[in-house]
Homo-oligomer: A and B are copies of this chain.
Amino acid sequence: MRMNQGVEWAIHACALLAPLWPNKGLSLAALADYHGLPAPYMAKQMQLLSKAGLVRTSRGRSGGYALSRAPAEINLWQIARAIDGPEPAFRCSEIRQRGPCATPRDKCKQACPIAAAFAGAEAAWRSALEEVTLADVLGRVGEQSDPAQLLRSMAWLGEQVVEIGGG
């Protein structure tokens, strides 16, 4: 199985918006340029983030995107779900109800033990991602980064930043 590649792009975009919260943001062009991605690729992710209520947008010449909540209140599971959809990776097709020894539908009130095991594994996956917020990501990036590199990024961001109303 493979997660949509847009999850990576969306989380990086949100991490870049995190230090600009609450009133500032970046244009779509700046978000795409910073990550070396074509603007239509980035646009699709930003639309999905907006639909999920994780970013807000302002239109017009100086329009762009800003986070709609504090970085500590947005976690990686929320972003992954916004981009990759809410469906579980393992989807039980109830094959126990098929074939010559099929279990009748009315005897299948409990989840199949196989489906239950995968549901448990996906809950563990979700919990692990819920524990990591954009604030955590930002903190770890800061710890890992070369100070000169951080300054270059901050200078670039300073030139690109736009005011986003309604925060």
Contact = CB atoms under 8 A, between A and B. Distances in A.
Contacts of A125: 121-122, 124-125
Interface string A105-117: 0010010011011
Interface stretch (A17-25, A51-59, A61-69, A86-94): A86-94
Majority SS at the chain A contact face: helix
Going nearest first, the 5 A-B pairs with the smallest beta carbon separation are A36-B98, A113-B140, A121-B128, A36-B99, A124-B124
Q: Assembly of this chain: how many copies?
A: 2
B4 A36 contact: no
Nearest to A98: B36
A109 B124 CA distance: 28
Given A12-B114, A35-B95, A89 B121 contact: no
Interface of A: 1-5, 7-9, 11-12, 15, 33-37, 76, 84, 87, 89-93, 95-96, 98-103, 107, 110, 113-114, 116-118, 120-129, 132, 136-137, 140-141, 144-146, 149, 152-153, 156
A127 B84 CA distance: 23
Given A103-B149, A122-B125, A145-B103, A8 B98 contact: no
A35 B91 CA distance: 16
A129 B149 contact: no
Contact of A95 (B8, B84, B137, B140): B8
Nearest to A89: B3
B141 A89 contact: no
A117 B132 contact: yes
A144 B113 contact: yes
